[in-house]
């Protein structure tokens, strides 16, 4: 079984590639969220990094937030299981980055995964990539800025169509 981590590599061209690895869908589990924050902080500090590419391993960008965390909180009542770093803070840090950040999306970008991609300065998607905010069909409002960023990126009517 592959380990859950966020890889970080810098090429000779000054492009840092940050890769999420949490098979099978690169869910945004607590170690991934924390790893993304740490890797983006590192990229911001390093003078040899001129640009950043964010992607997922195994042909999938990200299937979104790992809801098993919230299930455990409801089962145990232990609120300390909620991460001290949030996807929203990571997305805001990406969006505010002084270095250009490009999301290289393939396979799927759903929920928090799509919101992560929307926080990047640009997005490149492979053909047949699935994009969506499925939490809306469950009566849950996307919590990482998706309902604000999506209309700004693709227009209100297309965003509403995609969200419903």
Catalytic residue numbers, as ranges: 115, 135
Tell me the CB-side half-sphere exposure of residue 154, using CA atoms within 13 A: 14
Burial state string for 104-135 with b = 16 or more CB within 10 A and e = fewer than 16: bbbbbbbbbbbbbbbbbeebebeeebbbbbeb
DSSP state of 80: G
Q: How many whole angstroms separate alpha carbon 42 and alpha carbon 69? A: 26
What's the helix, strand, coil split of the chain in %, to 5? 40, 25, 35
């Amino acid at each position: 079984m592959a380990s859950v981590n966020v890889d970080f590599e810098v090429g000779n061209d000054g492009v840092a590639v940050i890769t999420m690895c949490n098979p099978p869908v690169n869910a945004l589990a607590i170690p991934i969220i924390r790893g993304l924050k740490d890797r983006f902080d590192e990229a911001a500090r390093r003078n040899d990094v001129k640009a950043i590419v964010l992607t997922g391993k195994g042909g999938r960008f990200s299937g979104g937030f790992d809801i098993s965390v919230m299930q455990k909180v409801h089962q145990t009542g232990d609120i300390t299981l909620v991460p001290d770093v949030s996807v929203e803070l990571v997305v805001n840090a990406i969006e505010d980055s002084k270095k250009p950040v490009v999301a290289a999306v393939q396979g799927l970008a759903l929920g928090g995964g799509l919101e992560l991609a929307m926080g990047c300065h640009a997005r490149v998607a492979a053909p047949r990539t699935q994009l969506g905010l499925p939490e809306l069909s469950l009566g849950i409002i996307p919590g990482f800025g998706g309902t604000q960023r999506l209309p700004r990126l693709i227009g209100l009517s297309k965003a509403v169509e995609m969200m419903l």
